């Protein structure tokens, strides 16, 4: 893209961003999702994405997820790395998926403030409507329906988007084991997630 401002989307961990991002003082909006819903979403994505390795069954996938043996590494390292970078860098806005699902208008106001934008009420309503999960699920620009490596017979790219869907996948023992591991890995951070709203 040669126009300005440019928009770049990435799933990279913070340490993989080129130095130029920090030197140019780029504004960065990072969106994090709670680990349990993220694991479920990632599992279904790997099932339908023919480029990713075969995810195997849910128990083995969940174990690999907790061990950080994923394409972009550990979820724990990813979210904590960006969180730590944000503490010293005012050019990073750290958003939570759960907050977006709970109150898109409030989070849109935060994004606009961060970017120095003001919207008319009409523009604001249009954005809120356009970024809603159901609208994005129907939009071929966001639902990946035109990408041939996605097998929609297995699962849609945009499946549910619900906070708390992990409860439909985790067994009681998986949840208990996951919580123990989560506590260990998230002990030394101020970062907090909600697994339901």
Q: Whole-prediction pTM value?
A: 0.90
Residue 114, C-beta contacts closer than 8 angstroms, at least 6 positions apart: 27, 29, 93
Three-state SS annotation for the chain: CCCCCCCCCCCCCHHHCCHHHHHCCCCEEEEECCHHHHHHHHHHHHHHECCCCCCCCHHHHHHHHHHCCCCCCCHHHHHHHHHHHHHHCCCEEEEEHHHHHHCHHHHHHHHHHHHCCCCCHHHHHHHHHHCCHHHHHHCCCCCCCCCCCECCCCCCCCCCCCCCHHHHCCCHHHHHHHHHHHHHHCCCCCCCCCCCC
Answer for the pair 93, 29: CB distance below 8 angstroms, yes or no: yes
Q: Is residue 147 part of a domain?
A: yes
pLDDT by residue (tens digit) across 118-150? 999 999 999 999 998 888 888 887 867 777 777
Q: Is residue 85 part of a domain?
A: yes
Residue 149: give its domain's CATH number: 3.40.50.300
pLDDT by residue (tens digit) across 36-85? 999 999 998 888 788 877 889 999 999 999 999 998 899 999 999 999 99
Burial, 54: exposed, middle or buried (Cβ in 10 Å; 0-12, 13-18, 19+)? exposed
Answer for the pair 48, 148: CB distance below 8 angstroms, yes or no: no
The pLDDT of residue 138? 86
- Whether 154 shows a pLDDT value over 80: the answer reads no
Q: Is residue 26 part of a domain?
A: yes
Give the relative orientation of helices 104-115 and 121-130 as an angle to the nearest 10 degrees.
120
The pLDDT of residue 23? 92
Q: Is residue 38 part of a domain?
A: yes
Greater pLDDT, 179 or 153: 179
- Whether 104 shows a pLDDT value over 90: the answer reads yes
Let me know if 169 is a catalytic residue: no
Domain that holds residue 106: 14-164
Q: Is residue 125 part of a domain?
A: yes
The pLDDT of residue 126? 95
Give the number of other CB atoms < 10 A from CB of residue 97: 19
Q: Is residue 137 part of a domain?
A: yes
Q: Is residue 110 part of a domain?
A: yes
Domain tally, the chain: 1
Out of 11, 44, 78, 169, the active site residue is: 11
How confident is the prediction for the chain on average, in pLDDT? Answer: 91
């Amino acid at each position: 893209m040669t126009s300005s401002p440019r928009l770049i989307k990435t799933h990279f961990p913070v340490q993989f961003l080129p130095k130029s991002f920090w030197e140019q003082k780029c504004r960065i909006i990072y969106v994090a999702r709670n680990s349990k819903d993220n694991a479920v979403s990632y599992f279904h994505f790997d099932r339908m994405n023919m480029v990713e390795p075969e995810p195997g069954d849910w128990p083995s996938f969940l174990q690999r997820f907790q061990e950080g043996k994923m394409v972009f590494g550990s979820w724990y390292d990813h979210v904590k790395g960006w969180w730590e970078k944000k503490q010293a860098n005012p050019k990073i806005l750290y958003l939570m998926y759960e907050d977006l699902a709970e109150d898109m208008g409030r989070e849109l106001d935060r994004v606009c403030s961060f970017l120095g934008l003001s919207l008319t009420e009409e523009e604001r309503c249009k954005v809120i409507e356009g970024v809603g999960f159901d609208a994005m699920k129907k939009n071929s620009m966001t639902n990946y329906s035109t990408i041939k490596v996605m097998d929609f017979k297995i699962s849609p790219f945009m499946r549910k988007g619900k906070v708390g869907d992990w409860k439909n996948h985790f067994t009681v023992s998986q949840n208990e084991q996951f919580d123990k591991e989560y506590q260990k890995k998230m002990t030394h951070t101020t970062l907090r997630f909600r697994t339901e709203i």
